[in-house]
């Protein structure tokens, strides 16, 4: 099958088109003919080798972390799907590879594609939808009337998180560039801060939650907008000891994560707030919940551009520029 592969870590020049073996099917797997996949900043981090301590992949590696497509074969233990079903999924982190014609995915990571969406729209959602759900619903348990700051509201995660937070009844603030101010308001943001002209940490006060997608200085400043007991959940900051325990990291990795996050955790404690790191996990059950919200029109997919499969490297380069509104899609079929 055709796929986009890396044989070593590096920048975009290491990505190549090539022929790879058809994936082996386990008892609890569905074999999916991929119609569309989306490009995420996570793909760039994996390509660059920035996550090889956390995710020690064997090379050559097919890139790609979410998809929509059609089931063409099932393992002997699969009960929820049959050939011909249209599905979407974020594969388990240790079984990625959606920039390809086929992929085998564990049944528990797969959900039926929302009926009202195209394959390209559906492919835009699994990774960012699950990230938003696990941050806002699972970890933060956002309630009506709470105040939530979502950084980079025009990005893939931000554009879905704004919609989900509004559905949950929160007052939503977001940061974005001048060109996207009206656009993120249309997604549901109540307060929009132009990061090129304003400093969010001097404007916002007493927030219950910050969803940090930037890390670094933005993460440090985010602590200041929280009320006592508030939470910052980061997908870009340093991994923390809780994450190390959840993933079963070895002793050396656990120590490394504790040290990496020591400064931000200390700053949070001093301010009476909480810091935690989120690395989204696959979940077909949560994708079914998200699909219900899509079918009820509480959340809509946000697609910036669609690239043909043969232009996957160009799609990666476009995401790396950092100007996409919502998601960038690779149309495989």
Architecture of domain 2-124+303-331: Alpha-Beta Complex (3.90)
Strands 147-150 and 171-176: parallel
CA pair distance 175, 45, nearest whole angstrom? 23
* DSSP, residue by residue, 80-139: S--TT-EEEE---GGG---SBSEEEEEGGGEEEPPTTS-HHHHHTSHHHHHHHHIIIIII
State yes or no: pLDDT of 247 exceeds 90: no
Q: What is the pTM of this model?
A: 0.96
Higher per-residue pLDDT: 56 or 78: 78
Q: How far is residue 162's CA from residue 167's CA, in Å, rounded to a whole number?
A: 9
∠ at Cα 60 (54, 65), nearest 5°?
A: 55
- Categorize the per-residue pLDDT at 330 as very low, low, confident or very high, splitting at 50, 70 and 90: very high
> What's the pLDDT at 246?
84
Closest CA to 95 of 8, 12, 31: 31
128-277 is a CATH 3.40.50.720 domain: yes
How would residue 181 be classed by pLDDT, with cut points 50, 70 and 90? very high
Instruction: Report the percentage of the chain scoring pLDDT > 90.
Output: 93
Cα–Cα distance for residue pair 317/189, rounded to 1 Å: 29
Higher pLDDT, 56 or 69: 69
Mean pLDDT of 100-125: 98
CATH 3.40.50.720 location in the chain: 128-277
Q: CA-CA distances (angstroms) from residue 287 to 36, 134, 216, 265?
A: 17, 11, 30, 31
* Residue limits of CATH 3.90.180.10 in the chain: 2-124+303-331
Tell me phi and psi for residue 146, to 5 degrees.
-75, 160
Mean pLDDT for the stretch of residues 275-290: 97
Residue 14's pLDDT is 98
Tell whether the torsion through CA atoms of 301, 305, 310 and 314 is positive or negative: negative
């Amino acid at each position: 099958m055709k796929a986009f592969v890396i044989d070593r870590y590096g920048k975009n020049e290491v990505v190549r088109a090539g022929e790879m073996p058809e994936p082996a099917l386990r008892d609890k797997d569905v074999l999916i003919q991929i119609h569309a996949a989306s490009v995420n900043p996570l793909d760039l981090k994996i390509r660059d080798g920035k996550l090889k301590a956390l995710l020690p992949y064997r090379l050559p590696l097919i890139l790609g972390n979410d998809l929509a497509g059609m089931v063409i074969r099932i393992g002997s233990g699969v009960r929820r799907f049959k050939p011909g079903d249209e599905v979407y999924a974020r594969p388990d982190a240790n079984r990625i590879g959606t920039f390809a014609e086929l992929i085998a995915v564990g049944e528990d990571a797969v959900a039926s594609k929302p009926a009202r969406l195209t394959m390209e729209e559906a492919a835009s959602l699994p990774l960012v939808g699950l990230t938003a759900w696990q941050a806002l619903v699972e970890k933060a348990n956002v309630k009506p009337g709470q105040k939530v700051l979502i950084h980079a509201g025009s990005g893939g995660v931000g554009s879905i998180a704004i919609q989900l937070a509004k559905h949950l009844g929160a007052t939503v603030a977001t940061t974005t560039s001048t060109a996207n101010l009206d656009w993120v308001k249309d997604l549901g943001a109540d307060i929009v801060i132009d990061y090129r002209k304003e400093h969010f940490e001097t404007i916002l006060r007493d927030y219950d939650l910050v969803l940090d997608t930037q890390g670094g200085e933005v993460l440090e400043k985010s602590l200041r907008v929280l009320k006592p007991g508030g939470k910052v959940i980061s997908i870009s900051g340093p991994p923390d000891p809780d994450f190390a325990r959840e993933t079963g990291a070895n002793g050396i990795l656990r120590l490394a994560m504790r040290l990496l996050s020591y400064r931000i955790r200390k700053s949070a404690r001093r301010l009476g707030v909480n810091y935690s790191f989120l690395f989204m996990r696959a979940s077909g059950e949560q994708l079914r919940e998200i699909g219900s919200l899509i079918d009820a029109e509480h959340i809509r997919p946000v697609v910036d551009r669609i690239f043909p499969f043969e232009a996957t490297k160009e799609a990666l380069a476009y995401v790396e520029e950092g100007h996409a509104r919502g998601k960038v899609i690779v149309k495989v079929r």
